[in-house]
Structure 1
Amino acid sequence: MHRLFAELEPSVTVTEQNLADRVRYILRSNTFDVTELERLRREAVPSSGENAAAEDAAPQLAEQTANVDAAVNTPVVVDDDDGTVAQELELEQMRSTLEEAIVETRSTTLENRPRLPRLALSKRNRAVVRALNPMLVTYLEASRDLCDTDSILFGAALAVCRIIGAKLSTAGRATGQSSAIPAWRIRIEERIAKARALIGRLICFRSGNTRPRIVRTVRMAFAGTNVSLSQPDIMQKLTERIDDLKQRIAAWGKRIRRYTERSTRFNQNRLFQSDQKRLYKSLERPIVSGTGPAPNQADMVAFWRSLWSEPVNHNEGPWTEVVASQCASITPMDPVIITPDDVAEAVRRAPNWKSPGLDGLHHYWLKGFMMYENGNENG
């Protein structure tokens, strides 16, 4: 590739690694679509045998792209990354899948929505998104508010995932939050549970219970030692073993408390640096509703009437005049008007698979779904 580039552009000096990095960046960033890349490849490396085939294939490729973009009632041919035909998707089935997904999303809360996976930026996936674009016009034009629009877009993303066969999480997004019990705590709690069960068996044996299961457990507890169940000081050995298990349980419990306090301090320090308001709100104690008798209505009316009905003369100091004179020279800020172009530019610059908000919708879907009006694409 470097030798061919040097022949085509002898005036440009570039290394082999730099050229490979630029090609990799162009392919990953999707700067050009498949049709544009094919056209550039034919212009860069013309061939007599390929020209005739390219001229015959160009109308077919343009017709296929127009059919996908216009969403006419014909089968959509979806190509795989290697250029072979992968499968045919009927537009009626796609429209039915889209309608079912939108209805399902509208009746589902944000917490119970499935987690949308990250899709590969392949020609097959992009073709499905382009085919669903014209079908969204009817839904988006009839949208009542922003929440309904978000439900429509999430339903369309869900339909794309179902059409291409992507794996979806049916448990909802609320189960995968950071409030889950960490693995280290689960392991320690399992040790504590096993130790407590063993203590119970040892106490039963010391009390005279000689059932086979109890005896077998006691022998396993003293496995690897020189302790025998028939020796005279077996009761003392049982007591020592029980005390040792109790001390281990206490040590494991202190380890859980120490790890939990350390994790709490770490999270609070990090939250203090990022969002102090959220930290102070989390430190507030929950309000516990009283269980006593209800307050008297007359007392409540009298209390609030004394606060809001009677005039109050505030004794303001001279500092209020100083502050008012200093603020008089401040020019008020112009009102901020956010236009659709501003939103479109912000979405365009955002990463495709950045962590979504409460709605669970990635920027990839906001970029991929367009409204077609008079031959133009509008986000």
Structure 2
Amino acid sequence: MNANSLRAYFREKGEETGCLAYRARMHRFFAELEPSLSVTEQNLADRVRYIMRSNIFGDAELERLRREAVPLSNGNATAGNAAPLVNIPFVVDLNDDGIVSHELEKMRSILEESMLETRSMPLENRPRLPRIPLSKGNRAVMRALNPMLVTYLEASRDHCETDSILFGAALAECRIIGAKLSMSGRATRQSSAIPAWRKRIEDRIAKARALIGRLTSFRSGNNRPRVVRSVRMAFAGTNISLFQPDITQKLTERIDDLKQKIAAWGKRIRRFSERSSRFNQNRLFQSDQKRLYKSLERPEVCGAGLRSNHADTVAFWRGLWSEPVNHSEGP
């Protein structure tokens, strides 16, 4: 059965011109080779896929089966014009091996809708497309969409329209396979100025400052349930009780500890920011030195601001260099 399954597959490949609906012909060819077996089109396609993936037959055996199968369907066919062995079409939903007509019409409507949507959309508002894995199902969708683009590309008038068509096709591909799209737009994505590491440290600082405020409030005599609950959480995991005699000293020590942590986190932010600034300046020095020097110049150096008077300048420097000064010589 395995050999005849491959013979039917190779024989169908020798006759077909497209790669979308091949199961019916392959099933008919297999019925001629194995009339005693009754299998469905889906079972036969699954069997062929399993054989090709599992490498049950070697390359020499596959070549022999192809030579035996191709002349059965076309006397002039040779092994050279046969389709690749692993080029097995897959369905969009991975439950079928052929894309039927109603699926193609649905894909065409999604394609037209995506192109119409992107045609009037500014570049900065276009969604950021994700990286699509090249699975067999995704390849089948691309093979189905490529012939649909020919008509639109031939009618394209300029590069902008061609770009809109291609982006609409990529957007339609993502929608068909169910990929997750970021609809926030490119401008919003690029304008996020605060890095994730800095936001995490700033959140820690904000929580520590809030806790310091509640500890200070409790030390001043505020016994509200919310304040008491925060103090209990601050001393969780220790043997400190809120009603022991030296609780004021423990509160002071805890507040000082939190202030030291806030100072350390602030130094960490400054250190990371300076390192990031140095890294960006070094990278800019390699790519565009003129832009780097302009960014380093201060407004006073560039000539901005008020211009000093010549007489005031002469009087200032004359007072420094013209009057004799007696210096005390050190050891």
Question: Do these two structures clear the TM 0.5 threshold for a shared fold by scoring above it?
Answer: yes
Shift of 1:278: 4.9
Partner residue in 2 for 1:159: 172
Shift of 1:271: 2.3
Partner residue in 2 for 1:265: 278
Partner SS state of residue 79, structure 1: coil
Residue-pair matches, total: 232
**2:100 is equivalent to residue 79 of structure 1:** no
Give the counterpart of 2:100 among 85, 88, 102: 88
Instruction: Flag the 1:232–1:101 CA change in 2: closer, same or farther, 3 A.
Output: same
The aligned amino acid for 1:235 is T
Shift of 1:104: 0.7
C-alpha distance in structure 2 between counterparts of 1:231 and 1:43, whole Å: 85
The aligned amino acid for 1:79 is F
Deviations 1:138-187 (A, max 9, x none): 43344343222211111122223333444433333445549564443233
The aligned amino acid for 2:271 is R
Structure 2 contact 91–140 (Cα < 8 Å) conserved: no
C-alpha distance in structure 2 between counterparts of 1:165 and 1:142, whole Å: 29
Partner residue in 1 for 2:229: 216
**2:168 is equivalent to residue 149 of structure 1:** no
Instruction: Flag the 1:278–1:127 CA change in 2: closer, same or farther, 3 A.
Output: farther
Please say which of residues 257-266 and 94-103 is displaced more in the overlay.
94-103
Instruction: Flag the 1:86–1:180 CA change in 2: closer, same or farther, 3 A.
Output: farther
C-alpha distance in structure 2 between counterparts of 1:85 and 1:185, whole Å: 50
Shift of 1:51: 4.0
Partner SS state of residue 111, structure 1: helix
C-alpha distance in structure 2 between counterparts of 1:231 and 1:100, whole Å: 72
Structure 2 contact 208–258 (Cα < 8 Å) conserved: yes
The aligned amino acid for 2:248 is M
**2:187 is equivalent to residue 168 of structure 1:** no
C-alpha distance in structure 2 between counterparts of 1:122 and 1:216, whole Å: 54
Structure 1 contact 113–172 (Cα < 8 Å) conserved: yes
Structure 1 contact 199–242 (Cα < 8 Å) conserved: yes
Partner residue in 2 for 1:15: none
Partner SS state of residue 123, structure 2: coil
Partner SS state of residue 85, structure 1: coil
Structure 1 contact 202–242 (Cα < 8 Å) conserved: yes
Partner residue in 1 for 2:64: 45
**2:217 is equivalent to residue 204 of structure 1:** yes
Partner residue in 2 for 1:253: 266
Partner SS state of residue 221, structure 2: coil
Instruction: Flag the 1:80–1:222 CA change in 2: closer, same or farther, 3 A.
Output: closer
C-alpha distance in structure 2 between counterparts of 1:159 and 1:127, whole Å: 14
Please, what is the CA RMSD of the aligned residues?
4.1
Shift of 1:248: 1.7
Give the counterpart of 1:243 among 239, 256, 261: 256
Using CA pairs under 8 Å that are at least 6 residues apart, name the structure with larger relative contact order, 1 or 2.
1
Shift of 1:119: 3.7
Structure 1 contact 161–167 (Cα < 8 Å) conserved: yes
C-alpha distance in structure 1 between counterparts of 2:188 and 2:175, whole Å: 22
Structure 1 contact 201–214 (Cα < 8 Å) conserved: yes
C-alpha distance in structure 2 between counterparts of 1:124 and 1:237, whole Å: 64
Instruction: Flag the 1:224–1:275 CA change in 2: closer, same or farther, 3 A.
Output: same
Instruction: Flag the 1:48–1:190 CA change in 2: closer, same or farther, 3 A.
Output: closer
Equivalent runs, 1:211-360 vs 2, <5 Å:
211-225=224-238, 227-280=240-293
Instruction: Flag the 1:243–1:89 CA change in 2: closer, same or farther, 3 A.
Output: farther
Give the counterpart of 2:118 among 88, 98, 105: 105
Partner SS state of residue 253, structure 2: helix
C-alpha distance in structure 2 between counterparts of 1:234 and 1:240, whole Å: 10
Larger Rg: 2
Instruction: Flag the 1:137–1:209 CA change in 2: closer, same or farther, 3 A.
Output: same
Partner SS state of residue 108, structure 1: coil
C-alpha distance in structure 1 between counterparts of 2:198 and 2:95, whole Å: 50
> Structure 2: which 5+ runs fail to align?
1-17, 20-51, 53-58, 82-87, 300-331
The aligned amino acid for 2:64 is V
Instruction: Flag the 1:203–1:263 CA change in 2: closer, same or farther, 3 A.
Output: same
Percent identical among aligned pairs is 72
Instruction: Flag the 1:228–1:43 CA change in 2: closer, same or farther, 3 A.
Output: closer
- Structure with bigger helix share is 2
Alignment TM-score, normalising by the size of structure 1: 0.50
Deviations 1:252-278 (A, max 9, x none): 111111111111111221222133355
Shift of 1:116: 2.6
